[in-house]
Structure 1
């Protein structure tokens, strides 16, 4: 059995895939690493680039062509085919720090935690920024959700999870949709019991490119997909609460992850004209309430969402101004 399976979501990524795959290409980890290059119906040279690495190290790199089904479908296919003890997702326009990957795999050999968390680096065209979302957690020590740990939230870039855990719980991610990575990480946090953190900056997350799904113009274009994922997360959170088996720290981490996605959808609406933004946010929020009163009430604990809802959504013009200033200053 391989130690780690990495599922690479690859759709028309001929410009970036070489950098992605080369970051896994180290003979020191060939025996322990499986790289599943899931080609989601690409129309460019994505497949040819992938096959080059398969020819070079066929026991490590696997090329998996499939019909287009969206990011979630590549994750689902990766879960289905992975042979590694642990499973990680890397997008085809991102990469990893190779030396830290070598170190990471050596550490994984000694691990049996359900969830393994690392740090990540946001890489912009003109600068980079190290991100650490973990507090009060000692590196390489195993914890449970019962312990006094502070995991601000879980994101795709920080997460590695036992493959068997995903299969045993029939984890399936929404297909034909962007922004579904939040579903995957929320599921992973929910089905896990033990957690280990490695203080490694492993994942290199590329940001600031105009063609990315997280670019503002694309988020506006794809806002219906954000809505779809948001409603799915509302249903998931409602189900998890009703199951009554989440521990307080686990619930807080899942909520912090879940609320960020809901808030992101609302912020996309703020990019619209004021009247349209107000109507869209009110409709979206009312749908959340209709789907799950539990989720709706819990979301009121978020400062931004509480501000949006205040005075029958009368604060939306102010929120638009504040968000515009934020985007100009920070770019996201």
Structure 2
């Protein structure tokens, strides 16, 4: 059995996929690493680039072709085909630090925790930023949800999870939709019972491209997909929350879940005032109709609570402040 399966979500990434795959291309990890390059119906030269690496190291790189089904479908395909003990998702426009990957796999071979968390680096066109999302977790020590620590949130870039847990729990991510990475990571946090944090900066997360799905322009264009994912997260949190999670596990999942709900609300703020308020109220009412439990829990988030105050009276002020922030920092 391989130690680690990396599932690469690849859709029209001819400009970046070579860098992604080259970051895994090290003979020191060939025997321990499986890289599934899941081509999600690309129409560019993604296939040719992927097959080049498959020919180079067929024991490590495996090309998988499928019809277009969105990011979630590539994760689902990766889970179904993975043979490694651990599973990690990397987008086809991101990459890893190769030397850190070698060290990471060496440490993975000695671990048996359900969930492994690492740090990541945000890579902008003109600068980088190291990001650590955990507090009070010692490097290399195994924890359970009963222990005292703080995970600010789980994100795709920090997460590695036991493959068997995904398969046994029949984890299936929403398809034909952007922004599903949160659905995947809260599933992982829910099925995991033990956690180990490794203090290493493994994942290199590319940001600052206006064509990315996380740009404000594209988030507004795809707000319907944000809504779809948000409603699915509300359903999941309703199920997870009623299953008597450990308090620390609940907080970790909530910290991850609430950001997506808040992000959808903030996207509405990019509309004109009347449309913004109308959409926020409608969105919030839909959350309540899906799960009053999740709706009430979301009041613990400061931004959502402020937005809801006095029958959404603060929306004009919040909208003005948010648009000012976007204009200042995200041009």
TM-score range, shorter chain: over 0.9
The reply on whether 1:39 has 2:42 as its aligned counterpart is no
Q: In the aligned structure 1, how far is the partner of 2:330 from the partner of 2:299?
A: 26
The superposition leaves residues 165-207 of structure 1 with CA deviations (integer Å, 9 ceiling, x where unpaired) of: 1001010000000000000000000000000000000000001
Runs of 4+ in structure 1 over 4 Å off: none
The reply on whether 1:300 has 2:299 as its aligned counterpart is yes
The superposition leaves residues 118-163 of structure 1 with CA deviations (integer Å, 9 ceiling, x where unpaired) of: 0001111111101000100000000000000111110000000000
Q: Tell me the equivalent position of 2:135.
A: 135
Q: Tell me the equivalent position of 1:318.
A: 317
Aligned ranges 1:194-273 → 2 under 5 Å: 194-244=194-244, 246-273=245-272
Q: In the aligned structure 1, how far is the partner of 2:31 from the partner of 2:103?
A: 14
Q: Tell me the equivalent position of 1:159.
A: 159
**C-alpha root-mean-square deviation of aligned residues, in Å?**
0.8
The superposition leaves residues 302-329 of structure 1 with CA deviations (integer Å, 9 ceiling, x where unpaired) of: 0000111011111111111211232234
Aligned residue pair count: 331
Q: Report SS of the residue matched to 1:7.
A: strand
Q: Tell me the equivalent position of 1:175.
A: 175
Give the deviation of 1:226 after TM superposition: 0.2
Q: In the aligned structure 2, how far is the partner of 1:170 from the partner of 1:301?
A: 30
Give the deviation of 1:230 after TM superposition: 0.2
Aligned ranges 1:61-80 → 2 under 5 Å: 61-80=61-80
- With the length of structure 2 as denominator, give the TM-score of the two structures: 0.99
Q: In the aligned structure 2, how far is the partner of 1:262 from the partner of 1:324?
A: 18
Q: Tell me the equivalent position of 1:20.
A: 20
Q: Tell me the equivalent position of 2:95.
A: 95
Q: Report SS of the residue matched to 1:243.
A: coil
Give the deviation of 1:241 after TM superposition: 1.6
Q: In the aligned structure 2, how far is the partner of 1:193 from the partner of 1:239?
A: 17
Q: Report SS of the residue matched to 1:6.
A: strand
Give the deviation of 1:242 after TM superposition: 1.7
Q: Tell me the equivalent position of 1:149.
A: 149
Q: Report SS of the residue matched to 1:8.
A: strand
Give the deviation of 1:330 after TM superposition: 3.5
Unaligned runs of 5+ in 2: none
Q: In the aligned structure 2, how far is the partner of 1:206 from the partner of 1:327?
A: 19
